[in-house]
Amino acid sequence: MPWAGETPAEGDKVEGTPEGRRVVITGIGVVAPGGIGRKQYWELLTAGRTATRTISLFDASPFRSRVAAECDFDPLAAGLSRRQIRQWDRTTQFAVVAGREALEDSGILGQTAPYRTGVMMGTACGSTMSLDSEYALVSDEGKSWQVDEFHGSPYLYDYFVPSSMAAELAWIVEAEGPVGVVSTGCTSGVDVLGHSADLIREGQADVILTGASDAAISPITVACFDAIKATTARNDAPETASRPFDRTRNGFVLGEGCAVFVLEELEHARLRDAHIYAEVSGHASRCNAYSMTGLNDQGLEMADAITAALDMARFDPAVIDYVNAHGSATKQNDRHETDALKRSLGSHAYDIPVSSIKSMIGHSLGAVGALETAACAMALEHAVVPPTANLTEPDPDCDLDYVPLTAREHKVDAILSVASGFGGFQSALVLNKPERRAV
């Protein structure tokens, strides 16, 4: 039995510290534009290099926005079998590859109790890429509607329901506890971490493999963002197209990718001498109840989410050493977010480095919050803050310290990560070194 050993017997709940159960990250796996694996990812971010380019995954020439941050992902080289590649959408492929890396990093395989182990994944778009191409196939590119039941992939139902992705990971980690998908559009990657941490704190699991994956650089996604001019059309300069907080920013660059974490109860991690990257100590989400795509002027909901997440962590704004911004590089977001940071952090907002790594890896929708969390965990580890690339002409309305162009060595003990998304969702996550937080 792979889960036997020094770990608690199946079904036994590990008791947390007397003051309550705390939740930590003990493993990280990444599939990102510019590199597969957390090390390459961190190298890209700290070098301030951008991974945005002209779309190569399909012929984007008929579209308005033709730049994206694509992953150089070779599924065979990444260890997937031909059957898995045929069966799984790219989103699930990313999740499995990143999941394996996280498990290996944490060294937890063989030390989990299935009943006490869960899987929670975030995604905004699920298997959109497969659904898009399968639709083209079954409809002969829209010319006819084939209903031959043998037409189209045998795995259409797995593409239909994104819960299939979490199920695959559950089998890999032998999870028989809580399993599911959290989907809140572009805040999914932050919200799934908050949800998983809640489940561990509550005692529903001791270990959860969690994170978010999206691979939706496909015609339907590009078309719908074209329709609302949310993406940049800076097609002649793809490498510098994502320009958060820059005066000349004019939309986001679509990205793809995945980050998966081993999330673990603190005592469980200590008992097995696990390396601890970060504690997940606070999370909150708010709806703006205003628009499915737009932001209202004041940033009240984002500010309240930040305040609530800090309250949950029992942190004063002054404790925060770094803010990982949503920073999507739409005109509206970056101003809205700057206002929300000032509203929630007060004068400290001006003292804290704030950066948007979307300048380098684009905006991978639901996955990006998890990718940003991975960056935050590594910032804690290395005491380095990744920069905001392409920020050469500051916007007078965005007047915080956005760490332009080059990474900065900086003592980081506690981090606030912010996310904003369609549906009106505004979320905040707080990470810290466990010793920073005297509970």
Partner 1 sequence: MDTFDTTTLVQLLRECAGEEEEVDLDGDILDTAFEDLGYDSLALFNTVSRIERDYGVELPDEVVAVAQTPRQLMDLVNTGIAERV
Partner 2 sequence: MTATGVQTRPVITGIGIVAPNGMSTDDYWSAVLRGDSGIRRITRFDPSSYPAAIAGEIPEYDPAGLLPNRLLPQTDRMTRLALIAAQEALRDADADPAEMPPFACGVVTSASAGGFEFGQKELQALWSQGGKFVSAYQSFAWFYPVNTGQISIRHGMRGPGSAIVAEGAGGLDAIAKARRHLRAGTSLMVTGGVDGSLSPWSWLCILRSGRISTSSDPHSAFVPFDRRARGAVVGEGGALFVMEDPDRAAERGAAHRYGEVLGYGTTFDPRPGTGRPPGLRRAVELALAEARTEPSDIDVVFADAAGSPELDLVEAETIASVFGPRGVPVTATKTLTGRLLAGGAPLDVATALLSMRDGVIPATVHVDSPAYEDLLDLVRDVPREQRVSTALVLARGEGGYNSALVVRKAT
- The one segment of 56-64, 97-105, 249-257, 266-274 that binds partner 2 by CB under 8 A: 56-64
Helices (H), 88-228: 90-106, 128-138, 156-160, 163-173, 188-202, 219-227
Contact of residue 225 among partner 1, partner 2, none (CB under 5-8 Å per partner type): partner 2
- Identify residue 190 by its one-letter amino acid code: V
Work out whether 314 is an interface residue with partner 1 (CB under 8 A). Answer: no
Report the site for partner 1 in 224-243 (rule: CB under 8 A). Answer: 227-229, 233
152: helix, strand or coil: coil
- Residue among 4, 161, 237, 292 that touches partner 1 (CB under 8 A): 292
CA distances in angstroms from 268 to 21, 272, 295, 305, 412, listed in the order given? 10, 7, 41, 29, 25
- Residue among 18, 147, 236, 396 that touches partner 2 (CB under 8 A): 147
Residue 333's nearest CA partner among 254, 389, 415, 251 is: 251
Nearer Cβ to partner 2 (147/411) = 147
| Least distance in angstroms from the C-beta of 409 to partner 2 | 36
| Least distance in angstroms from the C-beta of 100 to partner 2 | 16
- Residue among 95, 217, 284, 385 that touches partner 2 (CB under 8 A): 284
- Residue among 174, 267, 381, 401 that touches partner 2 (CB under 8 A): 174
- Residue among 79, 294, 318, 406 that touches partner 1 (CB under 8 A): 294
Which residue shows structure tokens 């059309």?
A: 233
Helix (H) or strand (E) holding 211: strand 207-214
Helices (H), 320-396: 331-345, 358-361, 368-382
Number of residues in contact with partner 1, rule: CB under 8 A?
9
Tokens of 258: 């995945």
Work out whether 175 is an interface residue with partner 2 (CB under 8 A). Answer: yes
- Across 11-26, b (16+ Cβ under 10 Å) vs e yields eeebebeeeebbbbbb
Rounded-to-10 torsion of CA 360, 379, 334, 347: -160
Binding mask 334-373 for partner 2 (x = CB under 8 A): ----------------------------------------
Instruction: List the catalytic residue out of 326, 336, 376, 398.
Output: 326
DSSP E strand boundaries for 215-295: 254-255, 257-265, 278-287
Work out whether 287 is an interface residue with partner 1 (CB under 8 A). Answer: no
- Residue among 25, 119, 403, 430 that touches partner 2 (CB under 8 A): 119
Work out whether 86 is an interface residue with partner 1 (CB under 8 A). Answer: no
| Least distance in angstroms from the C-beta of 315 to partner 1 | 36
Work out whether 57 is an interface residue with partner 2 (CB under 8 A). Answer: no
Instruction: List the catalytic residue out of 125, 186, 258, 376.
Output: 186
Catalytic site residue 195?
no
69: helix, strand or coil: strand
Instruction: List the catalytic residue out of 195, 283, 336, 363.
Output: 363
Report the site for partner 1 in 246-265 (rule: CB under 8 A). Answer: 250
Distance, in Å, from the CA atom of 77 to the CA atom of 115, rounded to the nearest integer, reads: 32
Contact of residue 48 among partner 2, partner 1, none (CB under 5-8 Å per partner type): none
Contact of residue 233 among partner 2, partner 1, none (CB under 5-8 Å per partner type): partner 1
Residue 377's nearest CA partner among 417, 350, 341 is: 417
- Using CB atoms within 10 Å of the CB of residue 97, give its burial: 0 to 12 exposed, 13 to 18 middle, 19+ buried: buried
Distance, in Å, from the CA atom of 2 to the CA atom of 107, rounded to the nearest integer, reads: 13
List residues binding partner 1 (CB under 8 A): 227-229, 233, 250, 291-294
Active centre residues (catalytic): 186, 326, 363
